[in-house]
Amino acid sequence: MTATAQPVAKEVGRVKAWRPPIFQNLWVRIAVVAICLLWTIPTLGLLVTSIRNPLLIANSGWWTSLLNPFAPDQWTLANYQQVLNNAGMGNAFLNSLIVTIPATVIPITIAAFAAYAFAWIPFRGRSILFTIVVALLVVPIQMSLIPILKIYSGAGLYGTFLGIWLAHTGFGLPLAIFLLYNFMSQLPRDLFESAAIDGASALQTFIRIVLPLSVPALGAFAIFQFLWVWNDLLVALTFLGPATELRVMPTALFAMLGTYGGQWQLLTAGAFITMLLPLIVFLVLQRAFVRGILAGSVK
Amino acid sequence: MTASARNENPAPLSRFVLPIAGLIGLGLCIGGLLVLVDPKGGQHLLAWFYDLLGNHSGADQLVNGQGDQLLAKIVLAIIALGVGVGGIWLLFIGVGWLVSLLQPKWRDRILPWVFVGPALALLAVYLVYPAAGTIWRSFFDNQGAFTLQNYATLTSPDFVEILRNNLIWLVVATAGSVFLGLVIAGLFDRIRREALAKTFIFLPLAISLIGASVIWSFMYAWQPATQPQIGLLNAVIVGVGGQPITWLTTNPLNIFAEIVIMIWLQTGFAMVVLSAAIKGVSTEVIEAARLDGASERQLFFGVIVPIIRGSIITVATTIAIAVLKIFDIVYALTGGRFGDDVVAVRMFHELFQFFNDGRAAALATVLFIAVLPVMYVNLHNFRRQAVEG
């Protein structure tokens, strides 16, 4: 299926091929604006509510504040203060950083070496092993939970950061190897031949030639994996467990749903804190993100 | 290993420096691993350091779960990064160097395995072995006796409803995302500020499923008809004279209310891929269709859509796989208590609430069987690509 997605990727950034005769038709523009509004309203409601006075939230819709934005005592940042301190969101934010950074960097490192060998070093069993990697791309994560949980409780890895780093590394590897292989195998053969003539070892070739050239693919996967780990609820619930001090953003937000259900000022502020970093990463690195998606996302 | 290799090569200084640096690195990695394996490793390491500095009370506080807990966590993360990244590089460079000392014949045989070894080991431990283990486990009850009961119960009304719900999710969420993504991609292709407009649709893709669940549970918020509605949807319904609806607890409406959240998230993905595909359609084909008198709608659905069929299938399968495993939305909003349960949520409950591992394994296996056709097609395409390439 990714084979079909591949030629698509090369078309990004090309001049628009499909120009309709009546460019900028009025109805099309109205439809576009309506769709964009429709898609934004839910998030806007969250954002507005998170900075509204809690006394207003239960008695009027968030849109009433937008219609009358200069009424006194309407806006406040106290909701955020309360969520960060009392609801443990500050702690969860740090935990999320601590979980996410190694769980992004480690799989990329391991996958880069493996993808290079799969792409450029012939060895016995290479094609069958890579076929297995492709097969593993779509295996549901649910297939891993029970046996890994058994291993973890035996090895004392349940409820540890080490356990969740390793789990995210294992689960992220097939896609990482696959994406990096697709990229690295497209590098020109001449590069490797001239490096071999210069007497460079496989390792030197990897460090001096393959890695620097693969930065776009490494970056694209890094964004994927970062968003995936940061936003993950299931793996965190399963392997970190319910302990309060180990909560990451999604598990903390889930706990808030139970504890503060109906206290919208806290839920919305908490939800916005969980979204903050992904949205920044996304907006800043949008191009690389799109490139990664087009290079074949199967997860 | 490194030491014996060094002894065999009594040669220039650099020959000593590298192995010694390697040995120090190895020592650091082993030390780091010991800290990582200890559940309170960060605290213990920091406490040891405080003791060294004479700050004994600070050390005691740390071990007792007070004091600079945050610093202990950060120390742990830095060690993890150091061991995870530095250790892997050390492994590759160190073993690569050792292997390079061998005869070329052996070197060429062993080196690739050094490169793929760690990845294969992790894949084996985290995916291959567990998959086999889960299938195996699904045929046993909690007492360890062989049984087919775990699968037999899946035909009870309870589970038939769950499987039906997953099927509804699969069809509606996938078709909805792909169709909307396709239409939006086609529509946005005609305006000048295309990139900006796309960002609005694409943005939810960065939002977590649980974050999206909170966003939409606020959209769906319900108040008795006597009170002002704070959820936008019910406000609109009451505004036009209707009765407020309990979106998330009314079955089967709640299934679709939850599916809307997934469509809201996934449409951006479909739009991006399909938009790139649309731009790949050659101008000649489009001009030819126009000359033949095709309307814009005929052009889009009759000419462009068939050409980008491959991309549409790719997008649909990718979204379908994500939808099949849907967990967060249902788990967070209702826990599947209002007739809206799905396989992944029920599996989680079987595992952590009912402690019925066998049935949880059977449910996971059902998901696995459902993705097998996709796996087959993937492998088929990959083989064909490999032959052609």
Supply the ipTM of this predicted assembly.
Answer: 0.88
Task: Band the pLDDT of A19: cuts 50, 70, 90.
Answer: low
Mean pLDDT lowest among A66-80, B27-41, B214-228, B279-293: B27-41
Which residues 231-270 in chain B show a CB within 8 A of chain A? Answer: 231-232, 235, 264, 267, 269
Is the pLDDT assigned to residue B326 strictly greater than 90? yes
B292–A contact, CB cutoff 8 A: no
pLDDT over 90 percentage in chain B: 48
What value does the mean pLDDT of chain A take? 85
- Higher pLDDT among residues A263 and B76, named by residue: A263
Q: What is the pLDDT of residues A127-170, one digit of tens each?
A: 999 999 999 999 999 999 999 999 999 988 898 888 999 999 99
| Token output for A9 | 């990727």
pLDDT for residue A9: 40
Please determine, for residue A13, whether its predicted confidence score (pLDDT) is greater than 60: no
pLDDT at residue B322, as a whole number? 93
Residue A34 to chain B, least CA–CA distance (Å):
11
pLDDT of res. A17: 46
CA distance B199 to B197: 5
pLDDT in tens, B14-26: 667 777 888 888 8
* Confidence bin at B110 (pLDDT 50/70/90): confident
- Express each pLDDT in B341-371 by its tens digit: 999 999 999 999 999 999 999 999 999 999 9
| Mean pLDDT, range A195-205, rounded to an integer | 85
Asked if the C-beta of A198 comes within 8 angstroms of chain B's C-beta atoms, the answer is no
Hey, is the C-beta of A294 within 8 angstroms of any chain B C-beta? yes
Chain A's closest residue to B216, CA to CA, is A42
Q: What is the mean pLDDT of residues B219-237?
A: 91
- Cross-chain CB nearest to B93 (options A20, A203, A230): A203
For the entire predicted model, the pTM comes to: 0.88
Count of C-beta atoms within a 10 Å radius of residue A259: 12
Residue B270 has pLDDT above 90, yes or no: yes
Structure token digits, residue B332: 């967070």
Predicted pLDDT at B13: 61
Give the A window 152-191 contacts with B, CB below 8 Å: 156, 159-162, 165-167, 169-171, 173-174, 177, 185
What is the model's pLDDT at position B52? 80
Q: Please provide the average confidence, as pLDDT, over all residues in chain B.
A: 87
Q: Would you say residue B4 has pLDDT above 50?
A: no
pLDDT score recorded for residue B6: 44
- Secondary structure (H, E, C), chain B: CHHHHHHCCCCCHHHHHHHHHHHHHHHHHHHHHHHHHCCCHHHHHHHHHHHHHCCHHHHHHHHCCCCCHHHHHHHHHHHHHHHHHHHHHHHHHHHHHHHHCCCHHHHHHHHHHHHHHHHHHHHHHHHHHHHHHHHHHCCECCCCCECCHHHHHHHCHHHHHHHHHHHHHHHHHHHHHHHHHHHHHHHHCCCCCHHHHHHHHHHHHHCCHHHHHHHHHHHCCCCCCCCCCCCHHHHHHHHCCCCCCCCCCCCCHHHHHHHHHHHHHHHHHHHHHHHHHHHHCCHHHHHHHHHCCCCHHHHHHHHHHHHCHHHHHHHHHHHHHHHHCCCHHHHHHCCCCCCCCCHHHHHHHHHHCCCCHHHHHHHHHHHHHHHHHHHHHHHHHHHHHHHHC
Out of A157-161, B87-91, B219-223, B346-350, least confident range: B87-91
Lowest mean pLDDT, pick from A219-233, B90-104, B238-252: B90-104
Asked if A146 lies within 8 A of B130 by C-beta distance, the reply is: yes
Using the Cα atoms of residue A215, residue A218, residue A220 and residue A223 in order, give the sign of their dihedral: negative
Please answer yes or no on whether B126 and A201 come within 8 Å at the CB atom. no
Rounded Cα distance between B148 and A20, Å, is 60
Judged by CB atoms closer than 8 Å, whether chains meet at B282 and A17 is answered as yes
Query: Angle, to 10 degrees, between the axis of helix B309-324 and the axis of helix A2-9?
Result: 120
DSSP code string of chain A: -HHHHHHHHTTTTPPP----SSTT-HHHHHHHHHHHHHHHHHHHHHHHHHTB-HHHHTTS-HHHHHHSTTSTT-B-SHHHHHHHHTSSHHHHHHHHHHHHHHHHHHHHHHHHHHHHHHHH---TTHHHHHHHHHHHTT--THHHHHHHHHHHHHHT-TT-HHHHHHHHHHHHHHHHHHHHHHHHTTS-HHHHHHHHHTT--HHHHIIIIIHHHTHHHHHHHHHHHHHHHHH--HHHHHHT-S-GGG--HHHHHHHHHHHSTT-HHHHHHHHHHHHHHHHHHHHHTHHHHHHHHHTT---
Q: Which residues of chain A lie closer than 8 angstroms to B125, CB-CB?
A: 151, 170
Which tens digit of pLDDT belongs to each residue from A207-246? 888 999 999 889 989 998 999 999 999 999 999 988 888 8
Low-confidence winner among A263-277, B63-77, B97-111 (lowest mean pLDDT): B63-77
The yes-or-no verdict on residue A12 having pLDDT over 70 is no
pLDDT at B349: 94
Cα nearest neighbour of A140 on chain B = B368
B95 pLDDT band, cuts 50/70/90, is confident
Mutate to test the interface with A, among B76, B88, B127 (most CBs of A within 10 A): B127
Higher per-residue pLDDT: B210 or B65: B210
Share of chain B above pLDDT 70, in %: 94
- Does B91 score more than 70 pLDDT? yes
Write out chain B residues lying below 8 Å of A45, CB-based: 215, 218-219, 232
Maximum distance among all alpha carbons in chain B? 92
B159 touches A at CB < 8 Å: no
What does the block give as tokens for B19?
């192995």
The verdict on a CB contact (< 8 Å) between A135 and B375 is yes
Distance from CA of B321 to the nearest CA of A (A): 7
Average pLDDT for residues B134-152, to the nearest whole number? 92
Q: What is the pLDDT of residues B35-55, one digit of tens each?
A: 777 777 777 888 888 888 877
**B8 — pLDDT class (breaks 50, 70, 90):** very low
Q: How far apart are CA A169 and CA B310, in angstroms?
A: 31
Max CA-CA distance within chain A? Answer: 76
Tally of CB atoms within 10 A around B60: 14
Burial of A191 (0-12, 13-18, 19+ CB in 10 A): middle
More confident residue, A267 or B91: A267
Give the whole-angstrom CA distance, residue B58 versus residue B61. Answer: 5
CA distance A80 to chain B (A): 16
Average pLDDT rounded to a whole number, residues B310-314 = 89
Interval B105-113 mean pLDDT: 84
Residue B10: predicted pLDDT: 47
Which candidate from A149, A166, A294 shows the least CB-CB separation from B273? A294
Name the residue with higher pLDDT: A22 or A286.
Answer: A286
- How far apart (Å, rounded) are the C-alpha atoms in residues B293 and B264? 35
